[in-house]
Amino acid sequence: MDGVMNTVVISCAIAVVLCAWQLVNTLWVRPKKLEKYLRNQGFNGNKYRFFSGDMKELSMMFQEARSKPISLDDDDGVLQRVVAFPFHSLQKYGKNYITWFGWKPRVTIMDPDLIKDVFTKLNDFPKPRSNPMARLIATGLVTYEGDQWAKHRKLINPAFHMEKLKNMVPAFHLSGSKMLDKWEKLVSSKGSSEVDVWPDLQALTSDVISRTAFGSNYEEGIQIFELLKEQSLLTMEALQSLYIPGFRFVPTKRNMKMNAIDKKVQHSIRGIINNKIKAMKTGEGNNGDLLGMMLESNSKEVEEHQNKNHGMTIEEVIEECKVFYFAGQETTSSLLVWTMVLLSKHQEWQSRAREEVLNVLGDKKMDLDGLNHLKVVNMIFHEVLRLYPPVSGLARKVDKEVTLGGFSLPSGTQIGIPIMLMHYDEENWGSDAKKFNPDRFSEGISKATKNQVIYLPFGWGPRICVGQNFALIEAKIALAMILKRFSWELSPSYVHAPHTVLTLQPQKTMDTVTNTVAISCALAVVLCAWQVVNILWVKPKKLEKYLRNQGFNGNKYRFLYGDMKSVGIVSMY
Ligand code: HEM
């Protein structure tokens, strides 16, 4: 008996020692080894601190930055506020630096050629695993790797082709009208009004996604996305605290609520999908919405290979619907809100954009062809995405030792790509890097970047944002509609406080107001003035050129009267 007891005690002791060693190895020995290895290759950064690494400093800087707003004229202020710790590390340690996320090291790189390598070699540099609590809100294309990612990307890509997006223009327009009608009502009684545009822009992009993702099931879509919004708030709450493995299965009040929401969402989307599949079998159903197109390309793939494994399961399609919402909603409203802020500050660009919209689109129905001719608006969006990228940084990881340029990166290292720091770097953009200057994009992105991988608002390489054209068309339509009907400036009470909650957004309520000239007046004046100029100058000059090109000669067109004065004189005699 004693013998058995001894064996049990000795086994327990060995197990405890082994566990303790694992712990010491994970939390101390390995990080210190990695630190030495990375430092020897030229990566600088804080010394590894047991367990928490840089997390305390990072969180303190984050809180400090959030505690006070900045001036809209403070060029460095934006970096200090939005990416406080990376900005501080860049200044202290240079462009290749280490940050300790607990006991895991992340090396940040800013060399465009190395960034290109990281984004291109998908197998060497996969995405880090997201927190299990966050996986409840959506998995799908954004999180998949390897063959599963390739399969889904191939099946989803066709839904975002320009040909397909063309048919969504009316849906974008309808959602925009809903927002603008609300603004018009707000100002019509007083002539001008303070409008908190951020919640309205969020509602706009939600509305757009519901309409374009689910088509005729738009109302149900709205309800699903309301639930997803609630789910993301609960997730954000859960992410505030350290995650203990398995905690998501503990029946706490929050976990139960999150599971209930998840069940409801799954149930509703499944219902819509089943109805769509039934309708598609009878030749109806795909009305040009994202879900219909995804199901169509899925069934084509299954038919082509005569094998279900080549397509997506219903569960996977459900996840992709959720991804469209999370990846596409706040990102696009972020682009629109910072565009409105920057065009308030740079009124000359607001006027140039309006002039272009009125010139190119006039009163015509919006279509893709017209939108493609909005060059100034395009330049403005590129510049806003450079200075206020909705996603301020990306990460990848190394699972087995790899070389990257001259570096050898050991397994367990993460790689940080600091989008925002890249966008503000004078080496990349010249001495006016921090200034708003859309003209730098006058000859397109390749010219502005000299074909270097330095501009990354939508990521880069095979995993570049699948929805970038969708987002830019949506934003163009919304901005064109706003410009046609309103002029605006910042409210005296506006506080400039950009911060990141998944995307870059205004921290305090952001009040963008119309000019002292009433919105409705602005609307009338802008449209009437345009009509007058168009009828009395632009159109006659166009006609003149057209007719002269065909050999018709005659007096030059003279404003308003044309030849009427001379006609009058001749007839008098
Ligand atoms: C201004 C708006 C947007 C911005 C700035 C943006 C930004 C990004 C970025 C930076 C990535 C790359 C992530 C990475 O490589 O780790 C990405 C990926 C993605 N985005 Fe967007 N996005 C926008 C709009 C949209 C829209 C409207 C949709 C869909 C309706 C969408 C769907 C996706 C998806 C599915 C991915 C994953 C692609 C893949 O991994 O293959 N995004 N986006």
C-alpha of residue 560 to centroid of ligand 1, in Å: 51
Distance of CA 101 to the CA centre of its chain: 24
pLDDT of residue 39: 96
Q: Give the residue, out of 465, 469, 473, with the most ligand 1 atoms within 8 A of its beta carbon, to mutate for a pocket test.
A: 465
Q: pLDDT tens for residues 410-463?
A: 999 999 999 999 999 999 999 999 999 999 999 999 999 999 999 999 999 999
Q: What is the mean pLDDT of the chain?
A: 88
Q: Kindly list the domain boundaries of the chain, sorted by start residue.
A: 1-131+392-437, 532-572
Closest ligand 1 atom, residue 391 Cα: 10
Q: Which of 8-17, 69-78, 479-488, 535-544 has the highest mean pLDDT?
A: 479-488
Rounded mean pLDDT, 493-504: 88
pLDDT band at 497 (very low <50, low <70, confident <90, very high): very high
Lowest mean pLDDT among 91-95, 302-306, 397-401: 302-306
Ligand 1: residues within 6 Å at CB?
Answer: 127, 141-142, 153, 323-324, 327-328, 331-332, 335, 390-391, 394, 457-459, 463, 465-467, 470-471
Cα 323 to averaged position of ligand 1 atoms, centre (Å): 9
For 1-131+392-437, CATH number? 3.30.43.20
pLDDT value of position 572 = 28
Q: Whose CA is nearest to atom 20 of ligand 1?
A: 465
Q: Whose CA is nearest to atom 14 of ligand 1?
A: 459
Ligand 1 centre from 152 Cα, in Å?
Answer: 14
Residue 381 has pLDDT above 60, yes or no: yes
Which residue has its alpha carbon closest to ligand 1 atom 6? 458
DSSP notation for 88-154: HHHHHH-SSEEEEETTEEEEE---HHHHHHHHH-TTTS-PPPPPTTGGGT--STTT--HHHHHHHHH
The yes-or-no verdict on residue 490 having pLDDT over 60 is: yes
Lowest mean pLDDT, pick from 17-21, 136-140, 181-185: 136-140
Please give the average per-residue pLDDT across 96-103, as a whole number: 94
Name the 3-class secondary structure at 160.
helix
Q: pLDDT confidence of 561, banded at 50, 70, 90? A: low
The pLDDT score that the predictor gives to residue 396 is: 97
**pLDDT at 186 (0 to 100):** 86
Ligand 1: centre distance to CA 539 (Å): 42
Residues 140-175 have pLDDT tens digits of 999 999 999 999 999 999 999 999 999 999 999 999
Provide, rounded to the nearest whole percent, the portion of the chain with pLDDT above 70: 91
3-class state of residue 544 by DSSP:
helix
> Measuring from atom 17 of ligand 1, which residue has the nearest CA?
465
Residue range 518-541, pLDDT digits in tens: 333 344 445 556 666 777 788 788
- Ligand 1 atom 11 nearest Cα: 465
What is the three-class DSSP state of 268? helix
Instruction: Extract the runs of DSSP E, i.e. beta strands, from 439-553.
Output: 488-490, 498-501, 503-506, 511-514
Look at ligand 1, atom 41, and give the residue with the nearest C-alpha: 463
User: Can you give the pLDDT at residue 218?
Assistant: 85
The per-residue pLDDT for 187 is 84
Chain centroid to CA 541:
42
Confidence (pLDDT) at 1:
59
Average pLDDT over residues 337-358: 96
Return the residue matching tokens 């149930």.
267
**Percentage of residues of the chain with pLDDT beyond 90:** 60
Ligand 1 centroid vs 85 CA: distance in angstroms? 24
* Residue 180: burial class (beta carbons within 10 Å; 0-12, 13-18, 19+): buried
Tell me what pLDDT residue 565 has.
43
Dihedral angle over CA of 287, 293, 295, 300, nearest 10: 110
572 Cα: distance to centroid of ligand 1 (angstroms) = 71
Look at ligand 1, atom 9, and give the residue with the nearest C-alpha: 458
319 CA to middle of ligand 1, Å?
A: 15
Residue whose CA is closest, atom 26 of ligand 1? 328
Distance (Å, whole) CA 103 – CA 22: 13
What local confidence, expressed as pLDDT, does residue 250 receive? Answer: 82
Centre of ligand 1 to C-alpha 467, Å, is: 6
Banded pLDDT at 6 (limits 50, 70, 90)? confident
